[in-house]
Amino acid sequence: MTRKPIPSQQPRRTKNSWPTPDELVEAPELAVLALLDTNLELALRALVAAHPALADLDPPPWTLEPSPSGRAAEILLASTKRLHQALETYRDAVAPRHDALPDDNAF
Residue 49 banded pLDDT, cuts 50, 70, 90: very high
Whether 38 has a pLDDT exceeding 90, the answer reads yes
Q: Is residue 1 part of a domain?
A: no
Distance CA 64, CA 71 (A): 8
Mean of pLDDT values over 59-65: 68
Average pLDDT over residues 74-83: 91
Is 32 a domain residue? yes
Q: Is residue 39 part of a domain?
A: yes
**Number of domains making up the chain:** 1
Output the CA angle 78-96-12, nearest 5 degrees.
55
Q: Is residue 107 part of a domain?
A: no
> CA 78, CA 76: separation in Å to the nearest integer?
5
Give the burial class of 30: count Cβ atoms within 10 A of its Cβ; 0-12 exposed, 13-18 middle, 19 or more buried.
buried
The pTM score is 0.64
Assigned domain for 36 exists: yes
pLDDT in the model for residue 67: 83
pLDDT band at 65 (very low <50, low <70, confident <90, very high): low
Residues 22 and 96 sit within 8 Å (Cβ to Cβ): yes
At 97, the amino acid letter reads R
Q: 4-13, 50-59, 63-72: which has the minimum mean pLDDT?
A: 4-13
Would the pLDDT of 48 be above 50? Answer: yes
The boundaries of the domain holding residue 82 are 21-56+66-94
Q: Cα torsion at 36, 32, 90, 57 (round to 10°)?
A: -10
